[in-house]
Amino acid sequence: MTKETPWWKRTPVAAPDAQRAIRPSEDEDTDSEADEEDSDEDDIDDDDDGDDDDSDAPVSAQPGDLADGESTTMQGSGAQPYILRNVAGVYSCSCPAWRNQSAAIERRSCKHLRQLRGDAIETARVGTAAAPARAARTAGAAQVSATGTAPPILLAHPWDQVVDLSGWWMSEKLDGVRAYWDGTRFLSRLGNQFHAPDWFIADLPKDVILDGELWAGRKKFQRGVSIARRQDKSDDWRELTYVVFDAPAHDAAFEQRLEHVRQLMEASGSQHARWLPHERCTGLDHLRAELARVEELGGEGLMMRQPGSRYEVGRSWTLRKVKTFHDAEARVIAHVRGAGRHGGRLGSLQCELPNGKVFNVGTGLSDAERNNPPPVGTVVTFRYQELSNDGVPRFPSYVGVRDDVAWPPTDTPAPAPAPARARAAAPARAAQVTASPTTRRTFTRGDDVWSIELDGRTVKIRSETPGTEAEDTTRHSPNPAAAWRDADSLIAAKLRDGYVEIVA
């Protein structure tokens, strides 16, 4: 066995069908590197279990198998050897055949793993005698997983800030792992089983279908994912709570379903599960105040349920998510080397949206993730403020790896560009700007109103507070691109201060 070569010394590998898998030029990468300096508050907890950073994992000295946390290398047809790992019973290989499979990571195999562990052992582990071929990309496929059919779950639409949510049921949007309890086990959105310890599920209602999330706490999404996808039924599950918010098979309106859930969970006496309380939204001010409170605590946002609504399968307008920032999925197509304090390790992930748009994500990555980044081909979740008119995410921030969604997504439409009234993205070079339409945006916090208007090279600001005279300020920039960047900075500051945009 040979010693593993650090990833930054290996030849970069791009996704086979990626449109672009090269390191951007220095001009293109400037913004990504600058964003990394502000990533501390978004960094995911580094105190993880080896899923995030196994660069120091022991190399197996004995052929035939790998202990938990061990890795080894095997020479393939290329110049560089492939890396084989075992993390909590999940075996992986860096070869394209393993990376490009559509099955869940715990159900993948390849000829290198079979050569190492033996064909019979691998067949018993993954349940198939041959590594599955890459799935065809069919948009309406119901079978989205090699291990089973996706459970029939309800999904939300983003709030368009037009629908009046007064009277709707409001709850915190949990930043966890969606888990469908079928009465005996947990299933992911794709139908893959989560291997919860027996003591974790002992008190859950049997033969009752529940919908909820495996939650590790606020700002601990990646930690929760790394625990939920383990196959060794680890005691790390004590960090998780199953938070239940619906009973899909209970044929009744939402209010009756929620009451049914409350009674079930309180009767169970489970130490590892609870129901999620909801409250009536009294109006826009109540919604804004609760959103600000949840986000101040480190929460992701709010979920809004239409009163009297039934449980529907797929995306429904009766369920809305309200957040200051949006999130979406993208596929990693290349690793961009870092500079400055990130020299010698990952600087940013080059990602691709389902519609082919390519962008870099440099914010939100922990030190462990920069040392051992998600492999090329991995589907990740990122958070962003809005899309430019060209459909490129603005201010993207890494959230974590998604093992429970298919690629390309079949239940989520591609993000649409920002509406015409919104500002355009600042181009990389000011010389490309020929004209700029007048753009006005308005934000509120309580009774305070703050608006910003962009007109060519001029940025006009108006601040209004009850009981005082409105304050107008005009700022001038050398060119439209600089004015857009100035407006971006001012808007970002207001959002951090708790302001919420009003959309006409």
> Residue 140: its pLDDT value, please?
31
CA atoms within 13 A on the CB side of 187: 20
Collapsed DSSP state (helix, strand, coil) of residue 77: coil
Cis bond leading into 408, ω under 30°?
yes
pTM, two decimal places = 0.50
Cis bond leading into 478, ω under 30°?
no
The parts of the chain modelled with pLDDT lower than 50 are: 6-63, 129-147, 413-438, 504
Helices (H) then strands (E): counts for the chain:
10, 26
Residue owning tokens 């060519």: 456
Measured between alpha carbons, how far is 389 from 308 in angstroms, rounded to an integer?
37
Give 383-431 pLDDT, tens digit per residue: 887 777 778 887 788 988 887 777 777 655 444 444 433 333 333 333 3
Query: Element (H or E) spanning 394, and its range?
Result: strand 393-394
Measured between alpha carbons, how far is 126 from 145 in angstroms, rounded to an integer?
13
Measured between alpha carbons, how far is 253 from 236 in angstroms, rounded to an integer?
36
Phi, psi of 226 (to 5 degrees): -65, -30
CA 386 to chain centre: 15
Q: Which residues form the catalytic set?
A: 173
Is the distance from CB of 394 to CB of 425 less than 8 angstroms? yes
CA atoms within 13 A on the CB side of 166: 5
What are the Cα distances from residue 425, in Å, to 34, 201, 463? Answer: 17, 49, 24
Which positions ≥6 away from 426 have C-beta within 8 Å? 481, 484, 485, 488
Residue owning tokens 């069908």: 17
Nearest to 52, CA basis, from 67, 69, 39: 69
**Bridge partners for 100 per DSSP:** none
Nearest to 195, CA basis, from 314, 264, 104, 85: 104
| Rounded-to-5 percentages of helix, strand, coil across the chain | 20, 30, 50
> Residue 45: its pLDDT value, please?
34
- Angle subtended at Cα 257 by Cα 238 and Cα 266, rounded to the nearest 5 degrees: 40
**Token pair of 484 as six digits:** 């857009």
> Residue 281: its pLDDT value, please?
94
> Residue 411: its pLDDT value, please?
57
Give 273-294 pLDDT, tens digit per residue: 999 999 999 998 899 899 989 8
Tell me the CA end-to-end span of the chain in Å, nearest whole number.
64
**Bridge partners for 382 per DSSP:** 328, 398
Nearest to 235, CA basis, from 225, 227, 246: 227
**Token pair of 75 as six digits:** 């020479």
Is the distance from CB of 281 to CB of 121 less than 8 angstroms? no
Collapsed DSSP state (helix, strand, coil) of residue 73: strand
> Residue 429: its pLDDT value, please?
32
Nearest to 356, CA basis, from 16, 3, 11, 19: 19
Query: Which stretches of 266-371 are assigned E, i.e. beta strand?
Result: 273-275, 279-280, 301-305, 314-322, 326-337, 346-352, 358-361
Collapsed DSSP state (helix, strand, coil) of residue 500: strand
Is the distance from CB of 244 to CB of 265 less than 8 angstroms? yes
> Residue 148: its pLDDT value, please?
55
